[in-house]
Amino acid sequence: MTDEIDVLILGAGINGAGLFRDLCEQGLTCVIADKGDYGGGTSAAPSRLIHGGIKYLETGELRLVAQSTLERNLLLKNAPHLVRPLPTVIPMFSWFQGIGAALRTLMGSTTAPRSRGALLMTAGLAMYDFYGRRHRVMPRHQIWSRARALQEIPPLTPRIRAAGQYYDATVTLPERLVWELVADGLRAHPAARALNHTALVGTDGQVVHLDGPSGRLSLRPRVVVNAAGPWIDRVNAALGAPTTLIGGTKGSHILMDHPGLLAALNGRMIYFEADDGRICLVFDYLGRALVGSTDIRADDPDQVMCDDAEIDYFLGALTGLLPGLRFDRDQIVYAYSGIRPLPASDAANPGLISRDHSAPVAEPEGARRWPIISLVGGKWTTFRGFAEEVSDMILTRLDRSRPVDTRLLPIGGGRGYPPDPAAWAQDQAAASGATPLRAMVLLARYGAAAADLLKAEGPAPRMLADSDHSLPELEYLIRTEQVVHLPDLVMRRTALAVTGRLSRRDLILIAGLCADVLGWDAVRQAAELQETQAILHTRHRLRQDQAPSV
């Protein structure tokens, strides 16, 4: 049997999920499918920032900065449970350097040096405030003297001349945000379908065949959207429309158990130049110091991982920035890496490749009866705006109008988010028997949906041994959020793995819970444990004393 649908989206990362939600809100019948899990590819490997792109000022991408700052402000309103303000400090190591280089970059140079002095950065921060004025929710920037900067962050290198503080934002659980967008789409249009762990088998140009946990599915779409990120060219080839659209770069990050560094940061991010001019960052992410990122040419998203040279680079950059602290490999609890799906480019400096997005169309040709729209580039911050642009393209092609504006549409647990979280926690605690502190913890993870979690937990839930997640909480996620494999739960529906807090005994307990709920037999349960162990050991450097063993 072949199902007739309006749009098939291949790839359920942030851009595909954002488009799925938008199209479902407009009443189109959509199917979104991913060969892995929702948000499990490149979208699982960001710097976890929702930022306006201050560094894009120097490449003259002013439209992108304007869009990014607006979308950042909207996300702070629409997803307050997952997107939060992040005060950011930029150390400045000179007064006048970088002005000539910036002018050459604006004129098209791809090899200009990257040094940025205080005068240049002050002008940039003023422009950044200007572009971020729409729906503003955060304070404007400040310029600190050297003395003030060293007083605020004592371990900073005394080589600095000044510092600037401005505000961007962070997303605490990016993979959950992807899932919540998908769930919102399913809620908006009951005929829509979302399929994870579902592979593209092939097409005759009319019907597209997919294969997933529930078997073979045949679809006849009117439009196909390729949202496969760094896999875009491979998917287009499988659809019979070969392309060379992607020229990605590798971005790696590490997470460190470093209380001294977190104390020095005091809730701030430091956004700084390494000695080679590369922009790096470090901030407190869920009680770990997140350090990133590299920007290296790479083209194999299935094998990418953070290597030893990148770790040496991070540790050296931190030592140069904060000589008052000690940094070594023993402090690393987790590492991850992904391929940015940037447009193909011959730029000598990967950092100067545009971070803007585009949506080229392969019109119907030969036996292929539907257009393919490829989502190239794009950033976490701008996913909603990108989705809106592509949705409008599709609506025009299908002779439909837009009934729903998504600019102020809450996302997932942002719907009904309480204006007074503390009062909400008190009320929920009284209703469920939980403590107000527990209610606040779940509110931070799930937004207003935490009310359902509190009911599922009851007043005295059984907790994991080494984490503040409960077994009823995890069971609720397994039952309601399309968990298929063990990594779906520990790496994407929760932050258990990325924070390095996933112990041996907890992983075994969680695997047993998945087996009970999903009906795994002993062989499947053991295989899931072994495969998860391999992923966490080889690709993510989970510390041996915390790594799961079978």
Q: What is the pLDDT of residue 494?
A: 97
Place of tokens 């960052």: 281
pLDDT digits (tens, 9 = 90+) for 394-419: 999 999 999 999 999 999 999 999 99
Q: Are the beta carbons of 338 and 292 closer than 8 angstroms?
A: no
Taking 50 as the threshold, does the pLDDT of residue 140 lie above it? yes
Mind listing the pLDDT tens digit for each residue in 159-176?
Answer: 999 998 989 999 999 999
CA 350 – CA 310 distance, rounded (Å): 16
For residue 248, give the 3-state DSSP assignment: coil
**The CA-based dihedral angle spanning residues 169, 173, 176, 182, taken in that order and rounded to the nearest 10 degrees:** 20
- The percent of residues in the chain predicted with pLDDT above 90, rounded, is 74
Report residue 332: phi and psi, to 5°: -80, 125
Q: How confident is the model at residue 362 (pLDDT cuts 50, 70, 90)?
A: very high
Q: What is the pLDDT of residue 132?
A: 63
Q: Are 47 and 293 in contact (CB under 8 A)?
A: yes
Whether the pLDDT of residue 457 is over 80: the answer is yes
- Cis peptide bond N-terminal to 293, omega within 30: yes
Does residue 463 contact residue 430 with C-beta atoms inside 8 Å? no
Geometric angle at alpha carbon 77, from 72 and 81, rounded to 5°: 100
- 418-538 sits in which CATH class? mainly alpha
Give the residue-averaged pLDDT of 2-28. Answer: 97
Angle between helices 450-457 and 421-432 (to 10 degrees): 30
pLDDT in tens, 269-306: 999 988 777 889 999 999 999 999 888 887 788 888 99
Average of per-residue pLDDT across 176-183:
98
Quote the Cα angle for 117-120-123, to 5°. Answer: 145
- Decide if pLDDT at 13 tops 90: yes
Q: What pLDDT shows up at residue 550?
A: 42
Distance CA 369, CA 206 (A): 6
Mean pLDDT for the chain overall: 90
pLDDT digits (tens, 9 = 90+) for 474-503: 999 999 999 999 999 999 999 999 999 999
- Name the residue ranges covered by the structural domains of the chain: 2-43+175-245+355-397, 82-170+248-341, 418-538
Helix/strand/coil for 101: helix
The answer for 340, left when phi > 0, alpha when psi is -120 to 50, beta otherwise, is: beta
- The helix/strand/coil state of 467 is coil
Provide DSSP, 528-540: HHHHHHHHHHHTT
Question: Would you give the distance in Å from CA 157 to the centre of its chain?
Answer: 31
- For 19-56, write each residue's pLDDT tens digit: 999 999 999 999 999 999 999 998 999 999 998 666 66
Say what the pTM is. Answer: 0.92
Q: What is the pLDDT of residue 325?
A: 97
Residues present in the chain in total = 550
pLDDT classification of 113: cutoffs 50, 70, 90 = very low
pLDDT-based confidence at residue 81 (cuts at 50, 70, 90):
very high
Q: Is the peptide bond before 214 cis (omega within 30 degrees of 0)?
A: no
Q: Is 357 exposed, middle or buried (0-12, 13-18, 19+ CB in 10 A)?
A: buried
Give me 174's structure tokens. 């990016």
Calpha distance 469→462 (Å, rounded): 9
Instruction: Cite the DSSP H helix spans in 302-378.
Output: 308-321
Alpha helices, DSSP H, located in 342-480: 383-397, 421-432, 436-446, 450-457, 471-480
Backbone angles phi, psi at 383, to 5 degrees: -60, -40
Task: State residue 112's pLDDT score.
Answer: 47
Label residue 136 by pLDDT band (50, 70, 90): low
Q: What is the DSSP letter of 149?
A: H
Alpha carbon distance, N-terminus to C-terminus of the chain? 42
pLDDT (tens digit, 9 = 90+) per residue, 522-546? 999 999 999 999 999 999 998 755 5
Give the mean pLDDT of 328-340: 94
Burial degree of 385 (CB within 10 A; 0-12, 13-18, 19+): buried
Mean pLDDT of 341-359: 69
Return the structure tokens found at 526.
């053991």
CATH class for the domain made up of 2-43+175-245+355-397: alpha beta
Class of domain 82-170+248-341: alpha beta
Res. 549 pLDDT band, cuts 50 70 90: very low
Positive or negative, the CA dihedral 307, 313, 319, 322 is negative
Lowest-pLDDT range of 118-122, 333-337, 434-438, 449-453: 118-122
Task: Report pLDDT digits (tens) over 90-112.
Answer: 998 876 565 555 555 555 555 54
Q: 468 — phi, psi (to 5°)?
A: -95, 30
**148-162, 351-365, 517-531: range with lowest mean pLDDT:** 351-365
Two structure tokens written together for 462: 């059984």
More confident residue, 131 or 207: 207
To which residue do tokens 């990050």 refer?
A: 253
Q: Give pLDDT tens digits for 210-227.
A: 999 989 999 999 999 999
Least trusted range by pLDDT, from 137-141, 229-233, 320-324: 137-141
Q: How far is CA 353 from the centre of its chain?
A: 20
Per-residue pLDDT band at 547 (split at 50, 70, 90): very low
